[in-house]
Structure 1
Amino acid sequence: MDWKKLQNGSDIRGVAIEGVEGEEVNLSAETAYIIGKAFVEWLRRRNTGRLSVAVGVDSRISGPMLSDAIIKGICESGADAVRCGLASTPAMFMITIDSKRPCSAGIMITASHLPYNRNGFKFFTPEGGLEKADISEILEIAEGFDPSAVSSFDCSSQHYANSAQTVVGTVSSRNYMKEYSAILVDYIRRGANAEKPLEGMKIVVDAGNGAGGFFATDVLRPLGADISASQFLEPDGMFPNHVPNPENAEAMYSICSAVMRSGANLGIIFDTDVDRSAIVDKQGRPINRNSLIALISDIILREHPGSTIVTDSITSVGLAEFISTRGGIHHRFKRGYKNVINESKRLNSVGQESWIAIETSGHCALRENYYLDDGAFLVAKLLLEAAKLARQGRELGSLITDLRKPLEDKEIRFKITEEDFAAYGREVLEFVKREASSIAGWSLEEPNYEGVRVNCSAPEESGWFLLRLSLHDPVLPLNIESDVNGGVAIIEQRLRALLKPVAGGLE
């Protein structure tokens, strides 16, 4: 088995169950068992005390099987396991810094918005989510285990023992989501100085049959909100209604329609494991991507004037202008939630104040919240602002009315057919970087930290494009925006013509 293929940046991802043609299972119960043992070994290299590891799952149908298996590996390695059941990714970090009963580490079993047959693991310690190098080390440890150790593996066994008959761990259960929900409720109550600050507001929550239903029942309801129009709160790992993804057009159409149909004041949508979110205003207009970044930036910059807002690379020119008019500094960085989080931390370490790292995908980490990538905390902060605005007869959308949006935008994904897709992709990017200035009105955006970003200033274009290499797939995504009718098509046509000498490996 090639353990390295399970690495997906700072996560582990794989195919957990059969059902999709051409996708072979590589994240089995046996694999999870070994990963559990490897994670405990990784922890022991850094912590010599008694270890306890919390394990949570999203709604995927393979979650219970993988949870049983990884807990077996944890316990047979001498650590205690805390079975948390249905949980969110942010909660599995928060349990490691719990003021009363903290765990040494947390594992979230999730594959975000990927199809039902996929699953994976996210790992946390009190210092935060693990980095790419940490995942590589865990998989190297796993690779060193004797395969014969799992030859008679039984994931249904609840009796934990190891070949050396040394000390084994215990298993306990804990409904940490109730505790985590109480933290969010308390945050909003204290900020609003009211017991039920959302009374009189109808709020639609769309959990997409993932793990986010708790936000309606355990956060909004105690705060006085009417949640009667909420939808898809029940966990269902086949995701029968829509993909739980705030970037997905079908998902956003569903929540927007629900808000309009019910006459709600606000809509909230989460991804499967609740580390991403977006909202919808009372007119049924989505506030996601650049609009969501603008909204939270407005709030952050009033709390922390002059702060640097770290975003991913595909944000718009209008967003940069919006942040600048509010006295902030917009720092575009690389795609990938760990990339923007680490860059925000780095800026603070060198004296440049940054209180937020956020991606257009809906990933958002706030300095006040341990730099935790937490879709529920982001929404809690927005709800606190919504409660304050409601007392003035205003709504959240009023904070971003001056955000300039492009007239046209488009994303194209060029598939790379070359075997060494990363090397070929880099060659294409270097070519565009060298040749872009030969096109009249085109100039490179500097500084730029990912791919090639080009400003297109000809009157018939009036826009920009970003060509970059995907973080994990053999793809060159191209994002184009324009402020004039037909501008995107002209930019695309000119770029395709420029690419002809090196386009042999593109589809």
Structure 2
Amino acid sequence: MTSLKFGTSGLRGLVGDLLGWPSYGYSLAFLRHLDVAGLARKSRELLVGRDLRSSSPEIAGLVLAAAEAAGFEPIDCGALPTPALALAALERQAAAIMVTGSHIPDDRNGLKFYSPAGEIGKADEAGILEAFAALGERDLLEFEARGEWQRPAQTLDAVTPYIERYAAFFGPDALTGLTIGVYQHSSVARDILAETLERLGAETLRYGRADSFIPVDTEAHRPEDLELLKGWAAEKRCDAFVSTDGDADRPLVADAEGTVLRGDVIGLLTAHHLGLSTIVTPVTSSSAIERSGIARTVRRTRVGSPFVIAAMEEGAKAGEPGIVGFEANGGLLLGSDVEREGRSLAALATRDSLLPIIAVLAEMAATKTPLAKLVDGLDAGFTAAHRLQEVPASESSPFLERLAGDQAYREAFFSAIGEVTDVNHLDGLRISLRSGETVHYRASGNAPELRCYVEAASGEAAGRLLEWGLEAAEKALARG
């Protein structure tokens, strides 16, 4: 048995299950899949990046060794944000592997795969698994003889072009007049984020730099992170606070009072600031997406960037303009080029934290409006989300299947909070109640967790509904 599995963000699992042959083997399988699919004809380079968790350098060494074994030129990009690595790979039409577990604890890690065309899709996952299953004794013997990468590899600075991308588009005065607190923790972008904001005219104050990895989640916020933000906000020195998850593909933005913005609110503000009119977002995002009137077209998907990207591509084929994708966790994907005042920002169809952070702050600066008032103007409603941890699929799947398929059980389960009026099976189970409130359960694609998302008429009501949702699910799981 192994904890390794593909989810919404590549392959993830316990470090003990990923170190050694698995990291090497899955990297080798990915590159062989590219060859079989004819996706590596223009470039034989593999760009390798990593986050700051303790196991990432060793795993990156295994990936570099696998690249050489597969006949690719290994290029070490070091520690950098996932979107910076993706941008470099797209520009070079090369493959890439990012070693990261994103927001999950330090005892876990993962591999994110990029073909020369961008993020891999579900068909690519199937191809990688097939190639991994086909690896033989010769591959294992070669791995044992080769071991982890020990020699200096060719290196590439993929960070500078990433920063310049936004410095050139937004300009040196985009954030003039703002003082921004940067929660650094163990984000791989902790210095890059502060440097970029300063390039755009902001003053930054740096907080909370950590020596060990901290699993900051931009969706299910840790109480200790919220407490830190409130404490720094009490100093009354900053107009807003920003941060990212571990590999910097998802943003965290909080207002001057330390109140964290939802990911879909960040996405809406970004779409408004950039003038984007086609929004692609998973079912977990709130009904404010449609209610705001910012988008002319809204496409709903399952959770995960592969599904968002597929729907963005469908929108592009249909001729829909100004395409942007984002998730409730804040990851934003730019599906169309943006032109403004003679400057161009090229599409980047992978989750990015820097663009939505800058766009939200630039909207503040341009309108001279506090962030809290910008949010109030969206009529975004109230949502809440959290998770039950250590809930494996063997427990969450039967629970979700029974809720979906057994009407009597479902009605009894929700009877304490209201009458069920609609059931959405797009991703997990999203229940609408007569009151207008919603409760959405889904199993995480990245970790053994059951996530719960709710929407209600007030913040207090959303908090109570979330508490009920988690407790009710926990009791049902305990009963089996």
TM-score normalised according to structure 2 size = 0.82
Q: Once the two structures are superposed, what CA deviation does each residue of 1:248-280 show, in whole Å capped at 9, x if it has no partner?
A: 232233234324425112211101111000212
Match of 2:355 among 371, 377, 389: 377
Q: Which moved more, 1:249-258 or 1:82-91?
A: 249-258
Match of 1:124 among 114, 128, 132: 114
Q: Which amino acid aligns with 1:224?
A: G
CA distance, structure 2, for counterparts of residue 371 and residue 126 of structure 1: 13
Name the structure 2 match of 1:57: 50
Alpha carbons 2:292, 2:378 under 8 Å: kept:
no
Name the structure 1 match of 2:89: 96
Match of 2:421 among 430, 433, 444: 444
Q: Once the two structures are superposed, what CA deviation does each residue of 1:147-170 show, in whole Å capped at 9, x if it has no partner?
A: 2333344325329xxxxxxxxxxx
Name the structure 2 match of 1:183: 165
Alpha carbons 1:416, 1:506 under 8 Å: kept:
no
Match of 1:426 among 392, 401, 409: 401
Name the structure 1 match of 2:341: none
Alpha carbons 2:292, 2:380 under 8 Å: kept:
no
- 3-state SS of paired residue (1:114): coil
CA distance, structure 1, for counterparts of residue 399 and residue 256 of structure 2: 47
Q: Does 1:213 align with 2:190?
A: yes
Q: Which amino acid aligns with 1:184?
A: Y
CA 1:141–1:435: 2 relative to 1, 3 Å: closer
Deviation of 1:492 (Å): 8.7
Tell me, which stretches of 5 or more residues in structure 2 are unaligned?
337-346
Q: How does 1:157-172 map to 2 (within 5 A)?
A: 157-158=150-151, 171-172=153-154
Name the structure 2 match of 1:30: 21
CA 1:421–1:504: 2 relative to 1, 3 Å: closer
Q: Does 1:312 align with 2:282?
A: yes
Match of 1:111 among 101, 120, 125: 101
CA distance, structure 2, for counterparts of residue 414 and residue 30 of structure 1: 28
Q: Cα RMSD (Å) of the superposition?
A: 3.7
Match of 1:230 among 206, 209, 213: 206
CA 1:504–1:266: 2 relative to 1, 3 Å: closer
Alpha carbons 2:47, 2:74 under 8 Å: kept:
yes
Q: Which moved more, 1:261-270 or 1:85-94?
A: 261-270
Percent identity, aligned pairs only? 21
Q: Which moved more, 1:53-62 or 1:341-350?
A: 341-350
Deviation of 1:421 (Å): 5.2
Deviation of 1:11 (Å): 0.6
Alpha carbons 1:178, 1:218 under 8 Å: kept:
no
Alpha carbons 1:15, 1:119 under 8 Å: kept:
yes
Q: Once the two structures are superposed, what CA deviation does each residue of 1:169-205 show, in whole Å capped at 9, x if it has no partner?
A: xx3112211221121211211xxxxx34333321111
CA 1:131–1:424: 2 relative to 1, 3 Å: same
Deviation of 1:290 (Å): 4.3
Alpha carbons 1:340, 1:357 under 8 Å: kept:
yes
CA 1:8–1:321: 2 relative to 1, 3 Å: closer
CA 1:104–1:433: 2 relative to 1, 3 Å: farther
- 3-state SS of paired residue (2:74): strand
Tell me, which stretches of 5 or more residues in structure 1 are unaligned?
17-24, 160-170, 190-194
Q: Does 1:261 align with 2:265?
A: no
Deviation of 1:51 (Å): 0.2
CA distance, structure 2, for counterparts of residue 74 and residue 179 of structure 1: 24
Q: How does 1:475-490 map to 2 (within 5 A)?
A: 477-483=451-457
Name the structure 2 match of 1:280: 254
Q: Which amino acid aligns with 1:118?
A: R
Name the structure 2 match of 1:22: none
CA distance, structure 1, for counterparts of residue 409 and residue 384 of structure 2: 25
CA 1:493–1:39: 2 relative to 1, 3 Å: closer
CA distance, structure 2, for counterparts of residue 482 and residue 174 of structure 1: 48
CA distance, structure 1, for counterparts of residue 303 and residue 348 of structure 2: 20
Higher relative contact order (CA 8 A, sep 6+): 2
Deviation of 1:495 (Å): 12
Name the structure 2 match of 1:335: 303
CA distance, structure 1, for counterparts of residue 427 and residue 235 of structure 2: 41
CA 1:94–1:5: 2 relative to 1, 3 Å: same
CA 1:466–1:116: 2 relative to 1, 3 Å: closer
CA distance, structure 2, for counterparts of residue 407 and residue 261 of structure 1: 27
Q: How many residues are paired up? A: 460
Name the structure 2 match of 1:204: 181
Q: Does 1:12 align with 2:3?
A: no
CA 1:182–1:351: 2 relative to 1, 3 Å: closer
CA distance, structure 1, for counterparts of residue 8 and residue 430 of structure 2: 23
More strand by share: 2
- 3-state SS of paired residue (1:91): helix
- 3-state SS of paired residue (2:76): strand
Q: Which amino acid aligns with 1:245?
A: D
TM-score normalised according to structure 1 size = 0.78
CA 1:327–1:371: 2 relative to 1, 3 Å: closer
- 3-state SS of paired residue (1:112): coil
CA 1:429–1:415: 2 relative to 1, 3 Å: farther
Match of 1:453 among 427, 430, 455: 430
Match of 1:73 among 42, 66, 70: 66
Q: Which amino acid aligns with 1:428?
A: L
Q: Which moved more, 1:57-66 or 1:284-293?
A: 284-293
Q: Once the two structures are superposed, what CA deviation does each residue of 1:271-315 show, in whole Å capped at 9, x if it has no partner?
A: 111100021222332223343244234335xx24xx342322233
Name the structure 1 match of 2:372: 397
- 3-state SS of paired residue (2:49): strand
Alpha carbons 1:323, 1:330 under 8 Å: kept:
no
Q: Which moved more, 1:55-64 or 1:75-84?
A: 75-84
Deviation of 1:375 (Å): 0.8
Q: Which moved more, 1:5-14 or 1:276-285?
A: 5-14
Alpha carbons 1:208, 1:271 under 8 Å: kept:
no
Name the structure 2 match of 1:42: 33
